[in-house]
Amino acid sequence: MTTSPFDSTLERREAATLGMWAFLATEVLFFGPLFFGYVHGRLASPDAFVAGSHHMHIVLGTLNTAILMTSSLTMALGVRAARTGSGSLKTMLTLTALLGLTFLGVKGSEYWMEAKEVANASGAELQFYFLYFAMTGLHALHMTIGLGVIAWLWRHARGFGRHYHAPVEVSGLYWHFVDIVWVFLYPMFYLLERYSA
Amino acid sequence: MSYVLTWLGLMILLALTFASSYLPMGAWNTVANTGISCAKALLIALFFMHLRNAGALLRIVALAGLLWLTLLFGLSWTDFGTRTLSPAPWSSR
């Protein structure tokens, strides 16, 4: 007879989710200092941050936000597919990965364009760029890890169904968390005093 | 269906935050942007991340990160908010 630390399947399932939420709490604190640095920098030199923000590519940034939020939709649909065993898990994972890759591609092309602006920046505007590259870079790193996880799920997609889907579930939570981080980054860097641009 | 509605809500909020940044509202622009970001985060957490149907334990853990973030922001601010700035060499270039 095997013994389990859990009283029920439901409890075991919740343990996996709980572990991921605990990890996400540490992720909040991982990103936290950069957010604090941003608040401090912007309060200390608001004009420089506005000037830096006006160099951001607003159309690409907004498009990327829409792309990322759509990838969260496909991820949520993928998790549901795994839960119900409806078979569309692979399709949803593929769509999520494609949207994620598109996001990174757009972000990369933005970096390419902004690299020239940085060369002309100085003082507090340089601080804006530092925070921009550090925060969106850390976000992009999380996206890259997320894409790796999706690739792993895709390979093992046949093993998931109504009775076993915890890996899909917790990967979904991670993906949505990374989406939430971007939801805050977008107005912080792209939307400062757009009316005066 | 509720997932598609959540996505639609996110898109509407994105359009709102984008459009509002072209209205000169001064400090209220930041308030609007932050408020809309929080609404979007809440939509994602409640529906995509299933916190709506989660038990008390899960909700508490989900909020724990935010609680600590608030505490550390507060403690850091008592430091940074009460000192004179001495810019690093690279930031006063």
**CATH for A183:** 1.20.120.80
Token pair for residue B64? 């724990």
Residue A17: inside a domain:
no
Residue A18: inside a domain:
no
Residue A71: inside a domain:
yes
Complex prediction ipTM: 0.92
Cross-chain Cβ contact A25/B90 below 8 Å:
no
Cross-chain Cβ contact A69/B7 below 8 Å:
yes
CA separation for the pair B78, A32 (Å, rounded): 16
Residue A6: inside a domain:
no
pTM equals 0.93
Residue A118: inside a domain:
yes
Residue A176: inside a domain:
yes
Closest by CA position to A128, among listed A55, A194, A74, A66:
A55
Mean pLDDT over residues A53-70, rounded?
97
Say yes or no: A123 contacts chain B, CB-CB below 8 A.
yes
Percent of chain A with pLDDT over 90: 82
- Sign of the CA dihedral A82, A99, A34, A44? negative
* Residue B46 CB coordination number (10 Å): 14
Say yes or no: B16 contacts chain A, CB-CB below 8 A.
no
Residues of the domain holding A179: 32-196
Q: What is the pLDDT of residue B1?
A: 67
Residues of B whose CB is below 8 A from A35: 69
Q: How many domains does chain A have?
A: 1
Q: What is the CA radius of gyration of chain B?
A: 18
Q: Write out pLDDT tens, residues B2-18.
A: 999 999 999 999 999 99
- The answer on pLDDT for A18 being more than 60 is yes
Cross-chain Cβ contact B3/A25 below 8 Å:
no
Q: Write out pLDDT tens, residues A126-146.
A: 999 999 999 999 999 999 999
Residues of A whose CB is below 8 A from B27: none
Closest by CA position to A39, among listed B88, B92, B86, B69:
B69
